[in-house]
Amino acid sequence: MIIIGTGRIVRDKKMEIQLYSWYLDYHIKNKNPVSSKDIKAKAKEFSTEKCFLASKGWLEKFKNRNKLKLTRAKRVSMKKREEKLINN
């Protein structure tokens, strides 16, 4: 476990590294919009902890730790968004 600053211990640092890497590839390189729901879904997928919930509080702290600013995505059909998430 790694302690960041004086806050709580980041329990699943490997998941957070994978998630941030996915974010960079998916959003920054490919210019795809990323929503809070997308990040939470990927976090659950990457997590090795059985009881990880990807709560709203965790999401806010993850965004702050990584200096992420999510903007509202343009309306895209759910089918297209799911295809993009599955392919990446």
Q: 60 is in which domain, residue-wise?
A: 2-87
Do you know the residue count of the chain?
Answer: 88
The confidence score (pLDDT) of residue 30 equals: 83
In this predicted structure, the answer to whether residue 25 has a pLDDT above a threshold of 60 is: yes
Residue 73's pLDDT is what?
55
Give the predicted TM-score (pTM) of the model.
0.70
Instruction: Using the predicted structure, report yes or no on whether residue 2 has a pLDDT greater than 80.
Output: no
Token representation of residue 31: 């210019």
Q: What are phi and psi of 52, to 5 degrees?
A: -70, 125
| Residue whose entry in the numeric block shows the structure tokens 């059985």 | 50
What is the arithmetic mean of pLDDT over 78-88?
Answer: 70
Check: CB of residue 81 under 8 Å from CB of residue 74: no
pLDDT of residue 5 exceeding 90, the answer is no
> Average pLDDT for residues 40-55, to the nearest whole number?
94
d(CA 25, CA 4): 24
The answer to whether the CB of 2 falls within 8 A of the CB of 9 is yes
Number of domains in the chain: 1
